[in-house]
Structure formats: structure tokens, C-alpha cells
Amino acid sequence: MSDLLINLTGWSGALLLLLAYFLVSNRKLNGDSLTYQLLNLIGSLCLLLNAYHFGAWPSVSVNAVWIGIALLTVSKSRAGNKKEE
């Protein structure tokens, strides 16, 4: 992939994470909502790809954990919804 595409991916990820934070901070989304978790998941994935490409290993690690937290929260939320059915 070209550096330009990788950089655009990284900036997109940063914007998604900032948007998620802004929406939760202004009570437009709940912290456990699927939308919030997906914004975090996709944003972190984009940043992880960018960090990996440029060898920024601390950022790769942080974003991998961030993705794991989002996946765990989505998984718990889906399991809770199945119990209600």
C-alpha cells in the first residue's frame, strides 16, 4: 500500500475515535452502544494498520487492546440481547 493511503487510513481512524469520544461526552451515544463500540473498533483498526506500517509498536499495542475491548463489549452486549429474547 502507498504511504498516502496508509496515512489517510490513519487519519480516518483518528477522526472516528475522536467522533466517538465527542458523541459520548455530549451524551449523544451511550458508552456501551453498538454504534460507539463500532466507531472505536473501526477507528482503532485503521490506526493499528497505520502504526504497523510505520513500525510504531507502542501504538500498535494500544490499538490492539482497544480493538479487543470493543470486541469484548460488543460480544457481551449481543449475549445480553440473546438472553432477553
pLDDT tens, residue order, the chain (85 aa): 799 999 999 999 999 999 999 999 999 999 989 999 999 999 999 999 999 999 999 999 999 999 999 999 999 888 877 765 5
pLDDT of residue 48: 98
Q: What is the DSSP string of 25-64?
A: HTTSS-TTSHHHHHHHHHHHHHHHHHHHHHT-HHHHHHHH
Residue 30: give the domain boundaries: 3-84
Supply the pTM of this predicted model.
0.88
- How many structural domains compose the chain? 1
The confidence score (pLDDT) of residue 85 equals 56
Alpha-carbon dihedral 4, 9, 11, 13, rounded to 10 degrees: -170
Distances (CA, A) of 45 to 28, 29, 84: 23, 20, 31
